[in-house]
Structure 1
């Protein structure tokens, strides 16, 4: 799917720019091999790190690690079953 390709390319560019990651052709091929043949799903293989240096750099971009006040309040309200009109499903 082109949307998945776009996200993976954006992640690679983020690793290159933010982490000053040097990307070689061999490293890119190893990266693709690791995410496609790893033990988990593609998403898990992408963000769980691994033997590849590039995967280690991308692990910090895992969207499940993103936290902010609004997200924390949402989780808190849902777990405590508060009625809040702003968080209705």
Structure 2
């Protein structure tokens, strides 16, 4: 059974704006590409750079549960986003 994951979306680049809500849930069986597409829709951006823990950009085909198991903490997976390459 794949559980639902909670992920936190802090934005450090103000030109993109800040989402009105920054904690979301997603099924662990979903690919990271679903998170990327969600952010693109919410921010009305075609190009977006998305990172885990301000450190690296995962492959869009990675399962959210795998990212959470390896890089999550305090029950959350921190996903950062920017309009230009910012980290790693």
Question: Structure 1-normalised TM-score?
Answer: 0.28
Work out which structure has the larger RCO, using CA pairs closer than 8 Å and 6 or more positions apart in sequence.
2
Give the number of the structure whose alpha-carbon radius of gyration is greater. 1
Compare the two structures and name the one with the higher strand fraction. 2
Alignment TM-score, normalising by the size of structure 2: 0.28
